[in-house]
Amino acid sequence: METDPGHSPTAKLQKQGKKLSDALRISAYVFSTGLLMFTALVNASSWLMQNITLGNFWQTAWLEFYDYMEGDEWTIFLIGAALVPALAFWGFNGILLVADITGKPTFITRYRIQLGKNDPVDRKKLWKAIYTALGNQFFVSFPMLVAMFYIMQWWENTFSKELPTFQWFLVELSIFTVIEEILFYYTHRLVHHPVLYKHIHKKHHEWTAPIGVVSIYAHPIEHIVSNTLPVMTGPMIMGSHIVSVSAWFSIALVTTSISHCGYHLPLLPSPEFHDFHHLKFNQCYGVLGVLDFLHGTDKMFRQSKAFERHKVLLSLTPLSESIPEPPKKEE
């Protein structure tokens, strides 16, 4: 019996080697291009912030706020790490909730990802999600912030009268994002273990078509391990300034709300990746998608229409219209 040359061990090794070299070449190109663009953006943004009065504006505003608070570090931390991010979260989700409940305005609802779902949202299910989210904020996140406060005091930099430069803030933001991606991906996969999923993570997945507030609708243990620690760890390691902490927490809460909101809105980051996770359960565990690619937990996603739609929408035409799901096969 003759062996097909195309299926011989040597041919397979050559094919795998070519795929690996192609992947490395593409990765090197993307990384180097991204690095150059990021460096240019950081330098330009830093110059703009520091030299066109904005740097002085923020520094002056911070000093006035610090003096108004009489240097009370606990109050400053409470406002920066708890109040401001909470207002960002509920302010953003308040707008989305109007659309979820009323189906209006149409300039939001027409961008719904899972058509026919949450149209309108189940009120009873919604109130349960809101109560749980508030409970997690008050009874889980707040005690963790108390512990974080003492850790940040130890660094002796968090409440400095001098703000970090905008360039350094961008560096910190990059580090926070990488740390969050690593911690969230692995803790998220952990709670998908059958034993933990049944008792902990299943609560979050009651919503196969999520909405913004569902981003922190979770079992308290999951909220500690998977929602809060990945976001808090970066600033605690870096000993970041409270202004950086406040900005990062606000960005993280709004970003996770976008990922869960169920609407692929123009100019905002694509929520298709995490929406697909809620739809399929065993795909797309991370935030950025890097670790999903490395571990192969996005293969089904990459073969889907959702992957084609996974980009920033730069027009007013909903991607559900320009890249629709294929018609379901009749049984």
Average confidence score pLDDT of the chain: 88
Q: Please state the pTM of the whole predicted model.
A: 0.84
pLDDT band at 331 (very low <50, low <70, confident <90, very high): very low
In the predicted structure, residue 30 carries a pLDDT above the cut 70 = no
Per-residue model confidence (pLDDT) at position 92: 97
pLDDT tens digits, 174-196: 999 999 999 999 999 999 999 99
Q: What is the pLDDT of residues 38-80, one digit of tens each?
A: 555 555 555 555 554 466 899 999 999 999 999 999 999 999 9
Segment 187-236, tens digit of pLDDT: 999 999 999 999 999 999 999 999 999 999 999 999 999 999 999 999 99
The average pLDDT across 140-165 equals: 95
Q: What is the pLDDT of residue 1?
A: 47
- Give residues with Cβ within 8 angstroms of 273, minimum separation 6: 259, 284, 289, 298, 301, 306, 310
What pLDDT shows up at residue 51? Answer: 57
pLDDT interval class at 12 (50, 70, 90): low
Residue 313 bridge partners (DSSP) = 266
Contacts (Cβ under 8 Å, ≥6 apart) of 236: 148, 151, 152
